[in-house]
Structure 1
Amino acid sequence: MILLTGFEPFGGETVNPSWAAAQLAAAALRSAGHDAAAVELPCVFERSAEVLRSAVGQVKPTVVLCVGQAGGRSKVSIERVAINVDDARIPDNAGTAPIDQPVRTDGPAAYFSTLPIKAGMAAVAAAGIPVEISQTAGTYVCNHVFYALMDILAGLDGVRGGFIHVPYSTGQGSQHGLPGLDVGDMAEALTLVATAALTADGTLRHGDLRLAAGAEH
Protein backbone atom coordinates (compact mmCIF):
# COMPACT_ATOMS: atom_id res chain seq x y z
CA MET A 1 0.00 0.00 0.00
CA ILE A 2 1.23 3.47 -0.93
CA LEU A 3 -0.02 6.37 1.18
CA LEU A 4 0.16 9.92 -0.17
CA THR A 5 -0.79 13.00 1.80
CA GLY A 6 -1.34 16.62 0.75
CA PHE A 7 -2.34 19.75 2.60
CA GLU A 8 -5.38 21.97 2.70
CA PRO A 9 -4.84 25.56 1.45
CA PHE A 10 -3.00 27.98 3.75
CA GLY A 11 -1.53 31.45 3.76
CA GLY A 12 -4.49 33.03 1.97
CA GLU A 13 -4.48 30.59 -0.96
CA THR A 14 -7.74 29.03 -2.12
CA VAL A 15 -6.10 25.83 -3.39
CA ASN A 16 -3.13 23.70 -2.44
CA PRO A 17 -1.61 21.82 -5.37
CA SER A 18 -0.05 19.27 -3.02
CA TRP A 19 -3.48 17.80 -2.30
CA ALA A 20 -4.59 17.83 -5.92
CA ALA A 21 -1.36 16.17 -7.00
CA ALA A 22 -1.54 13.56 -4.24
CA GLN A 23 -5.05 12.56 -5.34
CA LEU A 24 -4.04 12.32 -9.00
CA ALA A 25 -0.94 10.32 -8.14
CA ALA A 26 -2.92 7.88 -6.01
CA ALA A 27 -5.34 7.36 -8.91
CA ALA A 28 -2.45 6.81 -11.34
CA LEU A 29 -0.81 4.30 -9.00
CA ARG A 30 -4.07 2.38 -8.66
CA SER A 31 -4.41 2.32 -12.44
CA ALA A 32 -0.92 0.82 -12.59
CA GLY A 33 -1.97 -1.99 -10.26
CA HIS A 34 -0.76 -0.63 -6.91
CA ASP A 35 -2.85 -0.20 -3.79
CA ALA A 36 -2.76 3.52 -3.05
CA ALA A 37 -4.65 6.02 -0.91
CA ALA A 38 -4.56 9.81 -0.51
CA VAL A 39 -5.31 11.70 2.70
CA GLU A 40 -5.64 15.46 3.16
CA LEU A 41 -3.85 16.94 6.17
CA PRO A 42 -4.83 20.15 7.95
CA CYS A 43 -2.25 22.93 7.84
CA VAL A 44 -2.10 22.92 11.64
CA PHE A 45 1.01 21.90 13.54
CA GLU A 46 -0.12 19.30 16.07
CA ARG A 47 -3.31 18.27 14.31
CA SER A 48 -1.51 17.45 11.05
CA ALA A 49 0.70 14.90 12.81
CA GLU A 50 -2.32 13.37 14.55
CA VAL A 51 -4.17 12.89 11.25
CA LEU A 52 -1.03 11.44 9.67
CA ARG A 53 -0.51 8.99 12.53
CA SER A 54 -4.12 7.85 12.26
CA ALA A 55 -3.81 7.38 8.49
CA VAL A 56 -0.62 5.31 8.81
CA GLY A 57 -2.31 3.15 11.44
CA GLN A 58 -5.40 2.60 9.32
CA VAL A 59 -3.78 2.14 5.91
CA LYS A 60 -0.67 0.25 7.07
CA PRO A 61 1.41 1.44 4.10
CA THR A 62 4.69 0.16 2.73
CA VAL A 63 5.59 3.55 1.21
CA VAL A 64 4.53 7.00 2.46
CA LEU A 65 4.92 10.22 0.48
CA CYS A 66 3.89 13.38 2.30
CA VAL A 67 3.58 16.36 -0.03
CA GLY A 68 3.42 20.09 0.59
CA GLN A 69 3.40 23.38 -1.30
CA ALA A 70 6.56 25.48 -1.50
CA GLY A 71 5.45 28.62 -3.29
CA GLY A 72 8.38 30.27 -5.05
CA ARG A 73 10.33 27.12 -5.75
CA SER A 74 10.61 26.22 -9.42
CA LYS A 75 11.18 22.46 -9.11
CA VAL A 76 9.71 19.43 -7.46
CA SER A 77 11.86 19.21 -4.32
CA ILE A 78 12.56 15.79 -2.84
CA GLU A 79 13.47 16.55 0.76
CA ARG A 80 16.50 14.94 2.38
CA VAL A 81 16.14 15.79 6.08
CA ALA A 82 13.52 16.82 8.67
CA ILE A 83 14.67 18.82 11.70
CA ASN A 84 13.24 18.84 15.21
CA VAL A 85 12.06 22.44 15.34
CA ASP A 86 8.88 24.42 14.73
CA ASP A 87 9.52 28.09 13.95
CA ALA A 88 6.53 29.69 12.24
CA ARG A 89 6.92 32.85 10.15
CA ILE A 90 3.13 32.93 9.74
CA PRO A 91 0.40 31.31 11.87
CA ASP A 92 -1.02 27.97 10.84
CA ASN A 93 -4.70 27.61 9.97
CA ALA A 94 -5.61 27.41 13.65
CA GLY A 95 -3.75 30.64 14.43
CA THR A 96 -0.84 28.86 16.12
CA ALA A 97 2.67 30.19 15.54
CA PRO A 98 5.27 28.29 17.60
CA ILE A 99 8.74 29.79 17.79
CA ASP A 100 11.82 27.66 18.42
CA GLN A 101 9.77 24.74 19.74
CA PRO A 102 10.73 21.09 19.20
CA VAL A 103 8.45 18.86 17.18
CA ARG A 104 9.09 16.21 19.84
CA THR A 105 10.67 17.28 23.11
CA ASP A 106 12.80 14.17 23.57
CA GLY A 107 13.27 13.43 19.89
CA PRO A 108 16.49 13.31 17.85
CA ALA A 109 17.74 16.51 16.22
CA ALA A 110 16.85 15.26 12.74
CA TYR A 111 15.64 12.37 10.63
CA PHE A 112 16.69 11.52 7.09
CA SER A 113 14.19 10.46 4.46
CA THR A 114 14.15 6.71 3.88
CA LEU A 115 12.91 7.08 0.30
CA PRO A 116 15.44 6.38 -2.47
CA ILE A 117 15.71 10.12 -3.09
CA LYS A 118 18.38 9.93 -5.79
CA ALA A 119 16.59 7.18 -7.74
CA GLY A 120 13.39 9.19 -7.45
CA MET A 121 15.15 12.31 -8.69
CA ALA A 122 16.61 10.43 -11.65
CA ALA A 123 13.22 9.01 -12.64
CA VAL A 124 11.51 12.40 -12.46
CA ALA A 125 14.31 14.11 -14.40
CA ALA A 126 14.11 11.42 -17.10
CA ALA A 127 10.43 12.33 -17.52
CA GLY A 128 11.43 15.94 -18.25
CA ILE A 129 9.98 17.33 -15.02
CA PRO A 130 12.13 19.88 -13.13
CA VAL A 131 13.37 18.24 -9.92
CA GLU A 132 15.97 18.66 -7.21
CA ILE A 133 17.11 17.23 -3.91
CA SER A 134 16.33 19.81 -1.25
CA GLN A 135 18.39 20.13 1.91
CA THR A 136 15.70 21.92 3.93
CA ALA A 137 11.98 21.40 4.36
CA GLY A 138 11.69 24.70 6.24
CA THR A 139 10.41 25.03 9.81
CA TYR A 140 6.68 25.32 9.16
CA VAL A 141 3.96 22.63 9.09
CA CYS A 142 5.59 20.74 6.19
CA ASN A 143 8.73 20.08 8.21
CA HIS A 144 6.58 19.27 11.26
CA VAL A 145 4.76 16.58 9.26
CA PHE A 146 8.00 15.29 7.71
CA TYR A 147 9.60 14.94 11.16
CA ALA A 148 6.45 13.37 12.61
CA LEU A 149 6.30 10.89 9.71
CA MET A 150 9.86 9.74 10.19
CA ASP A 151 9.33 9.55 13.96
CA ILE A 152 6.31 7.29 13.33
CA LEU A 153 8.20 5.14 10.83
CA ALA A 154 11.18 4.79 13.18
CA GLY A 155 8.98 2.41 15.17
CA LEU A 156 7.87 0.40 12.15
CA ASP A 157 9.73 -2.18 10.08
CA GLY A 158 9.43 -2.44 6.32
CA VAL A 159 8.11 1.04 5.55
CA ARG A 160 9.91 3.73 3.51
CA GLY A 161 8.82 7.35 3.66
CA GLY A 162 9.70 10.96 3.11
CA PHE A 163 8.52 14.38 2.02
CA ILE A 164 8.24 16.16 -1.32
CA HIS A 165 7.60 19.86 -1.88
CA VAL A 166 5.86 21.00 -5.06
CA PRO A 167 5.84 24.54 -6.53
CA TYR A 168 2.79 26.70 -7.00
CA SER A 169 0.40 25.45 -9.66
CA THR A 170 0.64 27.26 -12.99
CA GLY A 171 -2.41 29.35 -12.07
CA GLN A 172 -0.97 30.34 -8.70
CA GLY A 173 2.39 31.10 -10.25
CA SER A 174 0.82 33.43 -12.81
CA GLN A 175 -1.15 35.16 -10.08
CA HIS A 176 1.91 35.74 -7.91
CA GLY A 177 4.47 36.32 -10.66
CA LEU A 178 6.42 33.30 -9.44
CA PRO A 179 7.31 29.90 -10.91
CA GLY A 180 4.48 27.42 -11.33
CA LEU A 181 4.12 23.82 -12.45
CA ASP A 182 1.26 21.89 -13.98
CA VAL A 183 -0.49 19.75 -11.35
CA GLY A 184 -0.42 16.80 -13.74
CA ASP A 185 3.37 17.02 -13.87
CA MET A 186 3.47 17.15 -10.07
CA ALA A 187 1.33 14.01 -9.90
CA GLU A 188 3.57 12.22 -12.40
CA ALA A 189 6.61 13.12 -10.31
CA LEU A 190 4.98 11.73 -7.16
CA THR A 191 4.05 8.55 -9.01
CA LEU A 192 7.62 8.10 -10.20
CA VAL A 193 9.12 8.68 -6.75
CA ALA A 194 6.68 6.22 -5.18
CA THR A 195 7.41 3.52 -7.75
CA ALA A 196 11.16 4.12 -7.38
CA ALA A 197 10.76 2.85 -3.82
CA LEU A 198 9.39 -0.47 -5.09
CA THR A 199 10.80 -3.35 -7.08
CA ALA A 200 9.09 -4.63 -10.22
CA ASP A 201 7.06 -7.12 -8.17
CA GLY A 202 5.88 -4.45 -5.74
CA THR A 203 8.16 -5.28 -2.81
CA LEU A 204 10.34 -2.64 -1.18
CA ARG A 205 13.50 -1.71 -3.06
CA HIS A 206 16.56 -1.47 -0.85
CA GLY A 207 19.33 1.06 -1.34
CA ASP A 208 19.53 4.07 -3.64
CA LEU A 209 21.49 5.40 -6.59
CA ARG A 210 24.74 7.23 -5.92
CA LEU A 211 24.37 10.54 -7.74
CA ALA A 212 25.67 14.02 -6.94
CA ALA A 213 22.79 16.28 -5.89
CA GLY A 214 24.23 18.36 -3.08
CA ALA A 215 24.31 22.11 -2.51
CA GLU A 216 27.00 24.72 -1.84
CA HIS A 217 24.67 26.91 0.21
Structure 2
Amino acid sequence: MTSNAKAPRVLIAGFEPFENDPVNPAWEIARALDGWTCEGAVVQAVQLPCVFGRAIDTLDAALPGPPLKLVLCVGAAGGRTEISMERAALNIDDARIPDNAGQQPIDLPVVKDGPAAYFATLPIKAMVRDMRAAGLPAAVSNSAGTFVCNHIFYALMHRIATRPALAHTRGGFVHVPYLPEQAASKPGVASMALADQVEAFRVAIRTALTVRHDVRETAGRLH
Protein backbone atom coordinates (compact mmCIF):
# COMPACT_ATOMS: atom_id res chain seq x y z
CA MET A 1 0.00 0.00 0.00
CA THR A 2 1.24 3.46 -0.85
CA SER A 3 2.59 5.79 1.82
CA ASN A 4 0.08 8.44 0.70
CA ALA A 5 -2.45 7.58 3.39
CA LYS A 6 -4.82 10.41 2.48
CA ALA A 7 -5.26 9.55 -1.20
CA PRO A 8 -8.69 8.32 -2.33
CA ARG A 9 -8.84 4.56 -2.71
CA VAL A 10 -9.83 1.84 -5.13
CA LEU A 11 -10.43 -1.26 -3.04
CA ILE A 12 -9.92 -4.61 -4.79
CA ALA A 13 -11.09 -7.55 -2.69
CA GLY A 14 -9.96 -10.88 -4.14
CA PHE A 15 -10.87 -14.30 -2.85
CA GLU A 16 -8.44 -16.84 -1.45
CA PRO A 17 -8.12 -20.27 -3.16
CA PHE A 18 -11.03 -22.69 -2.76
CA GLU A 19 -12.21 -26.15 -3.83
CA ASN A 20 -8.70 -27.63 -3.49
CA ASP A 21 -7.10 -25.21 -5.97
CA PRO A 22 -3.69 -23.97 -4.77
CA VAL A 23 -4.14 -20.53 -6.33
CA ASN A 24 -6.96 -18.09 -7.04
CA PRO A 25 -6.47 -15.62 -9.91
CA ALA A 26 -8.73 -13.15 -8.09
CA TRP A 27 -6.22 -12.68 -5.29
CA GLU A 28 -3.22 -12.77 -7.65
CA ILE A 29 -4.74 -9.87 -9.62
CA ALA A 30 -5.58 -7.90 -6.48
CA ARG A 31 -2.15 -8.16 -4.94
CA ALA A 32 -0.42 -7.40 -8.25
CA LEU A 33 -2.28 -4.07 -8.33
CA ASP A 34 -1.83 -3.16 -4.65
CA GLY A 35 -0.35 0.34 -4.44
CA TRP A 36 -0.93 1.19 -8.10
CA THR A 37 -2.07 4.79 -8.63
CA CYS A 38 -4.66 5.69 -11.27
CA GLU A 39 -6.37 9.05 -11.79
CA GLY A 40 -5.20 10.15 -8.33
CA ALA A 41 -6.62 7.09 -6.55
CA VAL A 42 -4.53 4.34 -4.99
CA VAL A 43 -5.37 0.65 -5.18
CA GLN A 44 -5.67 -1.21 -1.89
CA ALA A 45 -5.85 -5.01 -2.04
CA VAL A 46 -7.52 -7.19 0.54
CA GLN A 47 -7.85 -10.96 0.53
CA LEU A 48 -11.31 -12.36 1.24
CA PRO A 49 -11.82 -15.75 2.87
CA CYS A 50 -14.02 -18.04 0.79
CA VAL A 51 -16.38 -18.38 3.75
CA PHE A 52 -19.97 -17.20 4.08
CA GLY A 53 -20.25 -14.42 6.65
CA ARG A 54 -16.52 -14.17 7.29
CA ALA A 55 -15.98 -12.69 3.82
CA ILE A 56 -18.38 -9.87 4.70
CA ASP A 57 -16.59 -9.25 8.00
CA THR A 58 -13.28 -8.94 6.14
CA LEU A 59 -14.78 -6.53 3.63
CA ASP A 60 -16.32 -4.45 6.41
CA ALA A 61 -12.93 -4.13 8.10
CA ALA A 62 -11.41 -2.75 4.87
CA LEU A 63 -14.07 -0.12 4.15
CA PRO A 64 -13.12 2.56 6.73
CA GLY A 65 -10.29 4.94 5.83
CA PRO A 66 -9.64 7.47 3.08
CA PRO A 67 -12.51 8.02 0.63
CA LEU A 68 -13.40 5.03 -1.50
CA LYS A 69 -13.91 5.81 -5.18
CA LEU A 70 -14.45 2.22 -6.22
CA VAL A 71 -14.83 -1.21 -4.65
CA LEU A 72 -14.31 -4.20 -6.91
CA CYS A 73 -14.80 -7.64 -5.45
CA VAL A 74 -13.19 -10.35 -7.57
CA GLY A 75 -13.68 -14.10 -7.80
CA ALA A 76 -12.65 -16.98 -10.03
CA ALA A 77 -15.10 -18.56 -12.45
CA GLY A 78 -13.48 -21.66 -13.87
CA GLY A 79 -14.53 -22.27 -17.46
CA ARG A 80 -15.22 -18.65 -18.36
CA THR A 81 -13.26 -17.32 -21.30
CA GLU A 82 -13.43 -13.60 -20.52
CA ILE A 83 -13.18 -11.04 -17.76
CA SER A 84 -16.84 -10.94 -16.69
CA MET A 85 -18.39 -7.75 -15.34
CA GLU A 86 -21.34 -8.87 -13.22
CA ARG A 87 -24.56 -6.92 -13.60
CA ALA A 88 -26.70 -8.05 -10.64
CA ALA A 89 -26.37 -9.51 -7.14
CA LEU A 90 -29.18 -11.66 -5.72
CA ASN A 91 -30.23 -11.84 -2.09
CA ILE A 92 -29.72 -15.59 -1.88
CA ASP A 93 -27.13 -18.06 -0.63
CA ASP A 94 -27.49 -21.48 -2.26
CA ALA A 95 -24.16 -23.28 -2.10
CA ARG A 96 -23.46 -26.14 -4.51
CA ILE A 97 -20.36 -27.05 -2.48
CA PRO A 98 -19.23 -26.27 1.07
CA ASP A 99 -17.17 -23.13 1.60
CA ASN A 100 -13.66 -23.24 3.07
CA ALA A 101 -15.12 -23.58 6.58
CA GLY A 102 -17.44 -26.42 5.62
CA GLN A 103 -20.60 -24.32 5.54
CA GLN A 104 -23.20 -25.00 2.86
CA PRO A 105 -26.18 -22.65 3.23
CA ILE A 106 -29.19 -23.45 1.08
CA ASP A 107 -31.91 -20.94 0.17
CA LEU A 108 -30.97 -18.38 2.81
CA PRO A 109 -30.91 -14.60 2.30
CA VAL A 110 -27.63 -12.72 2.36
CA VAL A 111 -29.39 -9.89 4.21
CA LYS A 112 -32.65 -10.68 5.97
CA ASP A 113 -35.46 -8.49 4.61
CA GLY A 114 -33.09 -6.92 2.07
CA PRO A 115 -34.14 -6.17 -1.52
CA ALA A 116 -34.31 -9.13 -3.89
CA ALA A 117 -31.37 -7.80 -5.91
CA TYR A 118 -28.97 -4.93 -6.53
CA PHE A 119 -27.34 -3.77 -9.74
CA ALA A 120 -23.65 -2.92 -9.90
CA THR A 121 -23.02 0.81 -9.93
CA LEU A 122 -19.90 0.58 -12.09
CA PRO A 123 -20.04 1.58 -15.77
CA ILE A 124 -19.81 -2.09 -16.70
CA LYS A 125 -20.51 -1.74 -20.41
CA ALA A 126 -17.94 1.01 -20.85
CA MET A 127 -15.42 -1.09 -18.92
CA VAL A 128 -16.06 -4.05 -21.21
CA ARG A 129 -15.82 -1.81 -24.28
CA ASP A 130 -12.45 -0.45 -23.23
CA MET A 131 -11.00 -3.83 -22.26
CA ARG A 132 -12.00 -5.21 -25.66
CA ALA A 133 -10.51 -2.18 -27.40
CA ALA A 134 -7.24 -2.99 -25.62
CA GLY A 135 -7.34 -6.53 -27.04
CA LEU A 136 -8.46 -8.13 -23.77
CA PRO A 137 -11.47 -10.50 -23.76
CA ALA A 138 -14.33 -9.15 -21.62
CA ALA A 139 -18.11 -9.37 -21.37
CA VAL A 140 -21.10 -8.40 -19.26
CA SER A 141 -22.44 -11.32 -17.19
CA ASN A 142 -25.94 -11.55 -15.78
CA SER A 143 -25.28 -14.15 -13.10
CA ALA A 144 -22.71 -14.10 -10.31
CA GLY A 145 -23.94 -17.50 -9.14
CA THR A 146 -25.21 -18.22 -5.63
CA PHE A 147 -21.95 -19.07 -3.84
CA VAL A 148 -19.65 -16.77 -1.83
CA CYS A 149 -19.02 -14.51 -4.86
CA ASN A 150 -22.65 -13.47 -5.10
CA HIS A 151 -22.78 -13.35 -1.28
CA ILE A 152 -20.06 -10.69 -1.08
CA PHE A 153 -21.36 -8.84 -4.16
CA TYR A 154 -24.80 -8.45 -2.59
CA ALA A 155 -23.32 -7.46 0.78
CA LEU A 156 -21.16 -4.80 -0.88
CA MET A 157 -24.03 -3.29 -2.82
CA HIS A 158 -26.27 -3.33 0.26
CA ARG A 159 -23.66 -1.34 2.14
CA ILE A 160 -23.24 1.15 -0.68
CA ALA A 161 -27.02 1.57 -0.82
CA THR A 162 -27.54 2.02 2.92
CA ARG A 163 -24.42 3.68 4.36
CA PRO A 164 -24.07 7.46 3.94
CA ALA A 165 -20.27 7.18 4.13
CA LEU A 166 -20.37 5.17 0.90
CA ALA A 167 -22.83 7.42 -0.93
CA HIS A 168 -20.21 8.42 -3.51
CA THR A 169 -18.63 4.97 -3.85
CA ARG A 170 -19.23 2.83 -6.92
CA GLY A 171 -19.06 -0.91 -6.62
CA GLY A 172 -19.45 -4.22 -8.34
CA PHE A 173 -18.13 -7.72 -8.88
CA VAL A 174 -15.79 -9.19 -11.48
CA HIS A 175 -15.42 -12.87 -12.32
CA VAL A 176 -12.12 -13.91 -13.89
CA PRO A 177 -10.93 -17.00 -15.80
CA TYR A 178 -8.49 -19.61 -14.61
CA LEU A 179 -4.76 -19.01 -14.88
CA PRO A 180 -2.84 -21.25 -17.32
CA GLU A 181 -1.28 -23.22 -14.46
CA GLN A 182 -4.76 -24.10 -13.24
CA ALA A 183 -6.01 -25.05 -16.69
CA ALA A 184 -2.98 -27.28 -17.24
CA SER A 185 -4.59 -29.94 -15.04
CA LYS A 186 -8.06 -29.38 -16.52
CA PRO A 187 -7.82 -30.24 -20.23
CA GLY A 188 -10.07 -28.20 -22.48
CA VAL A 189 -10.77 -25.50 -19.89
CA ALA A 190 -10.14 -21.88 -20.88
CA SER A 191 -7.53 -19.71 -19.17
CA MET A 192 -5.96 -16.26 -19.36
CA ALA A 193 -2.43 -15.22 -18.42
CA LEU A 194 -2.09 -13.27 -15.20
CA ALA A 195 -0.36 -10.37 -16.97
CA ASP A 196 -3.32 -10.01 -19.33
CA GLN A 197 -5.82 -10.15 -16.48
CA VAL A 198 -3.91 -7.51 -14.52
CA GLU A 199 -3.77 -5.26 -17.59
CA ALA A 200 -7.52 -5.74 -18.10
CA PHE A 201 -8.10 -4.49 -14.57
CA ARG A 202 -5.89 -1.47 -15.16
CA VAL A 203 -8.01 -0.56 -18.18
CA ALA A 204 -11.28 -1.27 -16.35
CA ILE A 205 -10.32 0.75 -13.28
CA ARG A 206 -9.26 3.74 -15.36
CA THR A 207 -12.59 3.62 -17.18
CA ALA A 208 -14.56 3.34 -13.94
CA LEU A 209 -12.76 6.36 -12.51
CA THR A 210 -13.32 8.54 -15.56
CA VAL A 211 -16.68 7.50 -17.04
CA ARG A 212 -19.64 8.85 -15.08
CA HIS A 213 -22.46 7.55 -17.29
CA ASP A 214 -22.35 4.07 -18.77
CA VAL A 215 -22.60 3.59 -22.53
CA ARG A 216 -25.90 2.38 -23.98
CA GLU A 217 -25.13 -0.58 -26.17
CA THR A 218 -26.25 -4.17 -26.33
CA ALA A 219 -24.75 -6.68 -23.93
CA GLY A 220 -27.80 -8.88 -23.50
CA ARG A 221 -28.04 -12.62 -23.96
CA LEU A 222 -30.75 -15.01 -25.07
CA HIS A 223 -30.07 -17.39 -22.17
TM-score normalised by length of structure 2: 0.91
Look up the match of 1:186: 197
Look up the match of 1:157: 167
Look up the match of 2:177: 167
Q: Shift of the alpha carbon at 1:32? A: 7.0
Contact 1:53 1:152 in 2 (8 A): no
Q: Which amino acid aligns with 1:181?
A: M
> Where does the alignment leave 5 or more consecutive residues of structure 1 unmatched?
200-204
Look up the match of 1:202: none
- Note the 1:44-83 alignment, pairs <5 A: 44-58=51-65, 60-83=67-90
More helix by share: 1
Q: Which amino acid aligns with 2:154?
A: Y
Q: Shift of the alpha carbon at 1:34? A: 3.1
Q: Shift of the alpha carbon at 1:162? A: 0.3
TM-score normalised by length of structure 1: 0.93
The answer to whether structure 1 residue 127 and structure 2 residue 149 are counterparts is no
Match of 2:216 among 176, 195, 210: 210
Q: Shift of the alpha carbon at 1:165? A: 0.2
31 and 105 in structure 1: CA distance in 2 versus 1, 3 angstrom threshold? closer
Sequence identity (%): 49
The answer to whether structure 1 residue 10 and structure 2 residue 13 are counterparts is no
Q: Which amino acid aligns with 2:212?
A: H
Q: How many residue pairs end up in the alignment?
A: 211
Q: Which amino acid aligns with 1:208?
A: D
Q: CA RMSD in A?
A: 1.3
Q: Which amino acid aligns with 1:210?
A: R
Q: Shift of the alpha carbon at 1:188? A: 1.3
Q: Deviations over 1:93-142 (max 9, x none)?
A: 00000000000111000000000001100111011111110000000000
> Where does the alignment leave 5 or more consecutive residues of structure 2 unmatched?
1-8
Partner secondary structure for residue 176 of structure 1: coil
